[in-house]
Amino acid sequence: MSVFNLDNQNVNLDNKIVAGLERLSQVFRILLWEKAKEHSLSPIQIQLLIFIRHHSADKTTISYLAQEFNFTKPTISDAIKILEQKKLIQKITDQTDTRSYTINLTTTGKKIVLETENFANPLTEIISAANDTAKIVLWENISNLIVTLNKLEIISVQRTCFNCKHYSIKNKTHFCNLLDLKLLTKDIRIDCGEFEMA
């Protein structure tokens, strides 16, 4: 039975939560479109610029970006080609394999990131106003949901503690062996620069 059938939705909390998440997913699309229009770019082009700005070179290949954003390689290649034509990125060719390259932002590309990467701020402001207990519960549920969706192969790349080789459970608590740090719920990461697949 569909959660979008109002007869099902309004008598069942599970269905309302799922319908609510669908409504929330629209928020990012709407906010991103506003920025995209301002800069005559598409939402995915802006997402690519922001991602490249904040991740290491090994995560800026066409293959990695396609997996990260759940697009085909030709779609990502086309977006990258346009960003290059607009002089927002430059390709760095691999010395050992001239068919491969990673991607750097140009100075103009970095400027566009500065002007667009705050697109989610309206949502951040709402979350900031919530109390700490509510935030921890929300974070625990969101991070668990992401891990479950990843296991079901609905969400692809996940650089979360729960998939990381440095993660363990010590004395019944989450622990990062690399950082030698006890991880409270609020410390669990979903995109860690030090992540290594378990």
- Note the residues at the interface with ligand SF4 (CB under 6 A): 161, 164, 166-167, 176, 178-179, 189, 192, 194-195
What 3 state SS string does the chain have?
CCCCCHHHHCCCHHHHHHHHHHHHHHHHHHHHHHHHHHHCCCHHHHHHHHHHHCCCHHHCCHHHHHHHHCCCHHHHHHHHHHHHHCCCEEEEECCCCCCCEEEEECHHHHHHHHHHCCCCHHHHHHHHCCCHHHHHHHHHHHHHHHHHHHHCCCCCCCECHHHECCEEEECCEEEECCCCEEECHHHCCCECCCCCEC
State which residue, 115 or 196, has the beta carbon closest to ligand SF4: 196
State which residue, 89 or 164, has the beta carbon closest to ligand SF4: 164
- Shortest distance, position 161 Cβ to ligand SF4, whole Å: 3
Give the phi and the psi of residue 181 in degrees, each rounded to 5: -135, 130
- Shortest distance, position 195 Cβ to ligand SF4, whole Å: 4
For residue 167, the one-letter residue type is Y
- Shortest distance, position 19 Cβ to ligand SF4, whole Å: 32
State which residue, 52 or 192, has the beta carbon closest to ligand SF4: 192
- Shortest distance, position 156 Cβ to ligand SF4, whole Å: 17
- Shortest distance, position 174 Cβ to ligand SF4, whole Å: 8
State which residue, 115 or 194, has the beta carbon closest to ligand SF4: 194
State which residue, 11 or 169, has the beta carbon closest to ligand SF4: 169
